Structures are given as structure tokens and as C-alpha cells.
Amino acid sequence: MQITLTRALGAVAVAAAVTVAGIDAAGSASGSDARAKLTLIAPAAAGGGWDLVARESQQALRSDGIVNNAQVVNVPGAGGTIGLSQLETLTGQPTTVMVTGTVMLGGIAINDSPVTLQDTVPIARLAEDFEVFVVPRDSPYQDLDDFLEAWRANPGGLPIGGGSLGGIDHIVSGQLAQQADIDPAAINYIAFSGGGEVLTSLLSNTVGIAVSGYNDFRDQIEAGNVRALAVAAPEPVPGIDTPTFIEQGYDVDLVNWRGFVAPPGVSETDRQTLIDIVTEMVDTEQWATAVERNRWKESLLTGDEFGEFLAVEQDRISDILRELGLI
């Protein structure tokens, strides 16, 4: 399997260290009241799905006065596991939460991360997001079958751009390969640190096809600069005028959920405050508008139930990666 990483780990680590210094300062500046000041860690570069969730949450929290001061901090790298490892160092701090999701479960598995989501305090699952495969406007692939015909003929010769190794973009690519009778280990998957970089690579013809969350490509799809070939969803998604893989005969429907976790050691009282904050947020008109605009599907799950979901989901994603030969 040919894989390219776009950032040196050293550079990411330095950026993360600088960022977390800011997180520590933010937390200490306002005491321990999450309603006064809350830091939202997006464990990826600006412009991607986690960043979008963090910033939509920031707007909803601010507009309805749920939190007086909500700020977003980006800590990119290694499928979100750099952000996860930094969160783990903020033991007991109740004024920081981190966006997480399916991508991070893959990152934990493929990077053999010593820190897992079981080391955090589960707050809430928010919504589900949907993956889409897109090509540039002038691509010779008019539909999914056109692409698959060329892919079968030369699996390693057609670069596919997506997010981090082991993340949902990588998994969905592997599942599609498997469905198309292509060895997932033979594909040429090129990993980028965020949806913005994936889109840039597609528009610059660095890759011929790209996979990411629908919202990473939405504006370019609507402008006609890229063409969507298929969406990974169990059923058609309202507002996304693209057929699902299932509708086209391929059993690929892995969904990318989004949620929040807090640092380890947060007290039960502070955890409940964070759960209450998120529950109030998803009840706002601002959040409802964000869900509709971004073509998400609400799937609120909080506290211990979310924690149980995380344990089962980690096992499921790790099993899929093993089945695809990616770990």
C-alpha cells in the first residue's frame, strides 16, 4: 500500500505544544466554570469536519448565551490522536472539551495510540456526518462505475486523497475497494491533515479522486467545480443530490458520527454541567440550522450511554481495519 503523509510529525508536535499552552492559559484564566469560558479542541487542521463541528458549536453556545466565552483551538495530527494525547494531560480540567468521532477511533487503532477514548470522560454524541467521493469537473469519470473500471485496471496508479490514515476516509476507500474486488492493501491512499487540504489536492490535480465529509466539498459541488459520484449512507440523505453507494450496488455505508469528550478526572458535578451545556446547545435554533445546512443527522447520546457506545464502536472500527488489512 502506497501512503503519503503531508506533514512531518515534528512540526505537528511543535504546533500542538504551542496550542496546548494556549489551552492551559485559557482554562486557568476563568477558574473552573465551563459556563464562563469553554475551550473546544478541534483535533485537526482548520477547514475540516472536526473544525466545522467545533465552530458551529461555538456559534450556538455564544448566540444563546449558554457559555459566555467559547473558543476553538486546533491541534492537528495523526488521526486526532495528538489532540487526544494533549487532552489526556489536562486531568480534572472542566473547562475544555474535544471534538471526536469515527476518524479518531481509526487513528487510535492504526497508530497504536497509548491513549484511547476510554481515558477520557464521555460527554455527548451530537450528530452523524456523511462521506462523499468526488472528482474534478473535468475528470473522465462521469459516474462511480467509470471510476471503478479504471481503478480495477490500475489500483495503485490512481491516487485517492483523504484524511488521516485509518480514519473514516481511509476505511470507506478500503471498503469500496473490497466491494469492487480490489485488494484494499493495493490502493494508493494519500493522507492529508484536514478536509481543506484534501480539497486543495483535488483541485490541483494532485489526486484524481477524493473522499471526505460532504461539507468539505459542499461549496465546490454547488459551484460545479467538483462532481460527487457517491455518498456513504444507509439511505438517501435529504439535501444531498447524490446516489448512495448502496443505491449503486456497493455495500458501503459507514457513517461518521461527531461528539465531545472531556479530560480524565473531571468530577461528576462538572461532567453533568458539560452534558447540560451540550444538551442545551442542541436545543437551540442556531444548532438546528447548522444541522440542516451541513446535512447532518442528529443522534444525541450523553453520559454513560455515550461511553458504552464508544467502547463498542472502537472494537467495531478496529475489526474493520483488520478485515481490510490496514492494521
Q: Number of folded domains in the chain?
A: 2
End-to-end CA distance of the chain: 12
Q: In this structure, are 141 and 78 located in the same domain?
A: no
**pLDDT tens track for 157-201:** 999 999 888 889 999 999 999 999 999 989 999 998 777 888 899
Q: In this structure, are 149 and 285 located in the same domain?
A: no
Element housing 104 (H / E)? helix 102-110
Q: In this structure, are 67 and 110 located in the same domain?
A: yes
Q: In this structure, are 309 and 296 located in the same domain?
A: yes
Q: In this structure, are 97 and 138 located in the same domain?
A: no
Q: What's the pLDDT score for residue 215? A: 86
CATH number of the domain at 52, please: 3.40.190.150
Q: In this structure, are 261 and 124 located in the same domain?
A: yes
Given 186, 220, 248, the domain boundary residue is 248
Given 248, 283, 307, the domain boundary residue is 248
Kindly write down the DSSP assignment for every residue of 224-242, as one continuous string.
Answer: TSEEEEEEE-SSPPTT--S
Q: In this structure, are 221 and 294 located in the same domain?
A: no
Q: What's the pLDDT score for residue 105? A: 94
Q: In this structure, are 184 and 214 located in the same domain?
A: yes
CATH number of the domain at 142, please: 3.40.190.10
Residues in Cβ contact with 30 at an 8 Å cutoff, skipping those fewer than 6 apart: 36, 37, 69, 95
Q: In this structure, are 244 and 282 located in the same domain?
A: no
pTM for the model: 0.83
Instruction: Please state whether beta strands 121-129 and 96-101 pair in parallel, antiparallel, or not at all (unpaired).
Output: unpaired
Q: In this structure, are 40 and 155 located in the same domain?
A: no
Q: In this structure, are 154 and 118 located in the same domain?
A: no
Q: What's the pLDDT score for residue 19? A: 46
- Residue identified by cell 481503478 is 151
Q: What's the pLDDT score for residue 265? A: 97
State which residues of the chain have pLDDT below 50: 1-22, 24-31
Distance between CA atoms of residues 70 and 72, nearest Å: 7
Q: What's the pLDDT score for residue 23? A: 53
Q: In this structure, are 185 and 262 located in the same domain?
A: no
Residue range of the domain that includes 214 = 131-248
Given 215, 232, 248, the domain boundary residue is 248
